[in-house]
Amino acid sequence: MVTKQDISAFLKDAEIKPDDKVTIHCSLRSIGKIENGADGLIDAFCEYLNEGLFIVPTHTWDKVTRKSPYYDVRTTIPDIGTLAEVAAFRKDGVRSLHPTHSVTVFGRGAAEYVRGEENCASPAPLGSCISRLYEENGKVLLIGVGHERNTYLHSVDERLKIPDRLNPNPFEITIVDYDGNTLKSPPFHTHFTAASDRCVSEYYPNYKEAFEHTGAVTYSGLGNALVYVCDCRKMTDTCSRLWAKADRDLCISAEPIPTEWYK
């Protein structure tokens, strides 16, 4: 069984500091049995990151759509698994008002970190919780999953203004806040890539070798799970270098990225 002490030792081994801002994407099943389950994992991360922030994605992009443009921060259930469902409704976290890509943040300063997310007009624009991990030297831990679940890379697309990433036809979303107040989003642009046969995130693993070469990603382990330890600033800077040399869209097929673009 993976204990709180095991999780603390893992974070230290992964060179995570107690004042870091850390977000995760996690397959709980890949880890194995965890003491106190999803709540135990959250408790352990919060205790270790006692001077930082623990950020759990609680995304609702599959429920909050053009056909159902409604998000209630108090009740809308996340789309992305057990950890997200538990984190979204814990009383010690603050869930953001982003209608499709909310996060729940734990730690001092959590309320300030999520402030203004209701004004986002796309999944991960500059200034959003996800995008600000660049300025904050944040880390992403991919536990038992790969870069196809690395939501931070959507913010890189938006930061670098990669074309053909957002639906050109926006719609308005009704947002209900913690006090029951009804808000309206700005015209909202969902993820959409006309040139790809699927969401571009399915091709984010194309970056894997480049991230390894530049030191943007290292590896660790938690329980039975392989963990990608991702440095947000280094990932962004690596992508910037790649796209500066690219003569094609790097994430609309499984075509490898030439090694000479990053070596």
**Per-residue pLDDT tens for 119-171?**
999 999 999 999 999 999 999 999 999 999 999 999 999 999 999 999 999 99
CB 133 within 8 A of CB 113: no
CA distance 104 to 176: 16
pTM of the complete model: 0.96
pLDDT value of residue 175: 98
* 207: containing domain: 4-261
Sign of dihedral through CA atoms 186, 190, 194, 195? positive
- Distances, alpha carbon 132 to alpha carbons 129, 137, 145, 150, 248, in Å: 5, 9, 22, 15, 27
Tokens at 208, concatenated: 């894997």
Query: What does the mean pLDDT of the chain come to?
Result: 97
Q: What percent of the chain has pLDDT over 90?
A: 99
- Reported as a single tens digit per residue, the pLDDT across 238-247 is 999 999 999 9
Q: How confident is the model at residue 39 (pLDDT cuts 50, 70, 90)?
A: very high
Provide the domain count of the chain: 1
Task: Kindly indicate the confidence band of residue 25, based on its pLDDT and cuts at 50, 70 and 90.
Answer: very high
